[in-house]
Amino acid sequence: MKSKTSLMIIPLPLYLSFFLAANFGLSYASWGLETKLWVGLFGLALPFLVVLLTTPLSSKPPFLVESFPSPPIWVWVGFGFLAIVVRFYHLTTLTVWPHYDEATTGYYGMSLSQKWDSRMFYEGSQSPPAYLWGLGLFFKCFGVSLGTLWFFPALLSALTLPFTYGAARQFFSKSFSFLVTFGMAFGFWALFMGRFSLMAILVLFWECVVLFLLGKCVNARGLPQQGKWTWILGGATGLGFYTGLHWIAFAPLVLLTLVVLWVPKSLKNLGRFLVPCGLFLLPLIWAAIGGNSGLSFKHLWAFHQPIPPSEQARISLSYISSLFWGLDPKAYTFQPVFGGEMNPIMSSIFFVGLLVMGGNLKNPLNRWLGFALLFSFLPGLLTKECEPLRILTVLPILLVISAVGFQRLLEEKSIPYRTILLVLFLSISFSLDFYHLSIRYHNLWDSTDNWKGYSKSIDRYRAYGHLVKRANEDGPGLVFSNFMSGFYDQSLSIATYSFNTVENPNLAFENARWVALLTNVNYRPFLEGRFGPGEAFALSSDLNPSDGGWMLWIVAIKPDNREIFRGWWQADRSLNPAIDRYLSLTGGQSYSEILSDLNQAQFSFEKDPFLISCLGEKISDLYLKESFLLARTAPEDRSGKQMLDLAIQSLRQALSRGYPSAHLYNHLGFLELLSHNEPEAKKAFQMALKAPLNLTNSAQYLQ
């Protein structure tokens, strides 16, 4: 029987060259699908196939090898300083403006800074509370602003670094741990996620804490030390469930590790883990039983609604693509925009690490890393859509496997060349990632086409520039941003908090000297006829909106209008229950309770014609959403048609009792068309043309 060829006949640097060529092409070249498949076959799949058909030579595991001398203290100081700088570089300008999800997070943090509540689940995703509690406390101490909204995740990202090195040192050599920490300190994905005020960065931080504690348990000598660290690990793992839904996949990995280690040796130690973990988990379980937390899982679960296997396979593979080669920038939100989460150099070294590990599966740590990869991918693979941040817990595992590849490549060289090779590779890798973050990602927002696809409000971003200027000149004012239809985007409330008397309870209403209103541009003649000339800034005229778009209207507060605006302030406050409930909706939930909240707020709106128009538009919008929901879930039921009729009725009341704005007539025309009432639709479009100002597309619709 012939022996199989050794892996070492093909040296590792040659494998690396294949991987580099393939990964650079797949990441940056504008190739078609067929070309990419051929490149992936010959540049990636074929080398792995060669390994499967060969018997690699056994070698010393790289985890404990010191491939280069320990860096001197000044290198560590410079390393730490640079890692901090890149996390806070252009803190409030890099991502330009919060995503809707960040705005929702900020809204709850702002609410918690004013009044604490003990809910266990927040937002439509039914997210656990730890990040929001931390952000609320941070806002309480340092104020609410875009700066503090983004400073908090950047701080968590920085705090992740010492725990990354500490966790690595529990298992690996100093040089190996340095490589892992470098990837966490300067890799694109870690830097990128530290820029978003989302729970995922807390999950990553706590994962590194738990891995550090797991190492303490594994390395503890004697039962007393093992017992102490096991209690702490169990409590930390239980607390991890408060950080994010990712923990449902990560915690079983920790438990499985301990089962393998201790079931043959000490069941008592396993009990020491399970008891504190279970105690911390009980409040969440109790809250989940009494709430609607299962709706979020039901909505995201890949197998809730049958989809073609080919489509599910495409979604699952897109998570792998997001790591190494990127995704379509127009299709997703929290994703890389210049290649993958790992640049081609790090991706290639990662694949080398996989080759090395695949050649030595007898090593238990190699097998554990394989299981860890699988568990980390589960939150993505089992959902019906791609959102790369769901698999963020895979990052430490990717960095460890990449360090395996790096260590073996360094072994291929003599000692004098190792430092040169190390500095060269790490410098180029960091340069690619920093360019990706600070230039390519930042330049994404130069095009207004990207704002809507990435769930960012360019109208509110433009309004903020005018509002800051006015606040710097005249001090605090009243900024009304909740009178538009819908509730979802609270970004302007966060951004203006420091000078907005509407949101900030520390600012007295009597000290406000001006009013700013975010509203439809067609309201301008009605507002000026009532309050006199004001400053009006068109916010979306270049976006060609069918209803004319938004404007920011600013007017001074005077003795004759102060009480009117006090009524507006009270009306805005009465919307808070509806806003909170709207932000907590999970996909597929009814809007009926929000409509009930609005009906209860009606008393604050009914005496002012502008407020009547705004509330009628909001109610009509919710009835329309409810009709669409019922049409999907109960197409044979006539209740969807009834909701549409109520939406039309609400708009008609807004027009008869409030301001007959052109955009309201234009919207009414659309609703009448949906109701198959073309004569009434025609009348509505004609009325829009007769309004004092008509910037809608009603004339085109009539044609």
Residue pLDDT, tens place only, 357-372: 877 777 888 888 888 9
Q: Would 673 be classed as within a structural domain?
A: no
* Same-domain pairing of 369 and 403: yes
The answer to whether residues 355 and 477 belong to one domain is no
Q: Is the pLDDT of residue 180 over 50?
A: yes
User: Is 452 within the bounds of a domain?
Assistant: no
For 126, left (φ over 0), alpha (ψ -120 to 50), or beta?
left
Residues in the chain: 703
Q: How high is the pLDDT of residue 2?
A: 40
In angstroms, rounded to a whole number, what is the distance separating the alpha carbons of residues 693 and 695? 7
pLDDT of 509 over the 50 cut? yes
Q: Which position has the higher pLDDT, 308 or 545?
A: 545
3-class state of residue 566 by DSSP? helix
d(CA 657, CA 663): 15
Q: ∠ CA 370-374-380 to the nearest 5 degrees?
A: 150
The last residue of one of the domains, among 526, 556, 574, is 574
Residue ranges making up the domain that contains 229: 7-446
Q: Which of 299-308, 554-563, 611-620, 669-678 is least confident? A: 299-308
Q: Are 314 and 327 in contact (CB under 8 A)?
A: no
The pLDDT confidence band at residue 302, using thresholds 50, 70 and 90, is: low
User: Alpha-carbon Rg of the chain, whole angstroms?
Assistant: 29
**Whether residue 311 sits in one domain with residue 339:** yes
Q: Has residue 198 got a pLDDT over 60?
A: yes
Q: How far apart are CA 196 and CA 186, in angstroms?
A: 16
Q: What pLDDT was estimated at residue 7?
A: 44
Quick one: pLDDT at residue 500? Answer: 96
Whole-prediction pTM value?
0.92
Shared domain check, 242 and 366: yes
**CA of 681: how far to CAs of 13, 264, 444, 544, 689, in Å?**
70, 76, 40, 22, 13
User: What integer pLDDT is reported at residue 3 of this predicted model?
Assistant: 38
**How high is the pLDDT of residue 304?**
62
In the structure encoding, which two tokens stand for residue 234, read together?
């169990």
Residue 407, judged by CB atoms within 10 A of its CB (0-12, 13-18, 19+), counts as: buried
pLDDT at 680: 93
Provide the mean pLDDT of the chain: 87
Return the number of other C-beta atoms located less than 10 Å from residue 57's C-beta: 11
Q: What whole-number distance in Å separates Cα of residue 359 and Cα of residue 366?
A: 10
393 and 324 together in one domain: yes
Closest CA to 258 of 284, 232, 281: 232
Q: Would you say residue 619 has pLDDT above 90?
A: yes
Q: What percent of the chain has pLDDT over 90?
A: 53
What dihedral do alpha carbons 35, 39, 40, 44 form, nearest 10°? Answer: 180
Pair 104, 231 in one domain: yes
Report residue 5's pLDDT band, with 50, 70 and 90 as the boundaries. very low
Q: Tell whether 640 is covered by a domain.
A: no
- For the chain, the domain total comes to 2
* Predicted confidence (pLDDT) at residue 1 exceeds the cutoff of 50: no
The average pLDDT across 594-608 equals: 89
Query: Of 398, 420, 446, at which residue does a domain stop?
Result: 446
pLDDT band at 291 (very low <50, low <70, confident <90, very high): low
CB-CB contact of 681 with 673 (8 Å): yes
Confidence label for 6 from pLDDT (cuts 50, 70 and 90): very low
> Using CA atoms, how far apart are residues 299 and 614, in angstroms rounded to an integer?
31
Report if residue 211 sits inside a domain: yes
Helix (H, G, I), strand (E, B) or coil at 650: helix
Boundary (domain end) residue, out of 559, 574, 589: 574
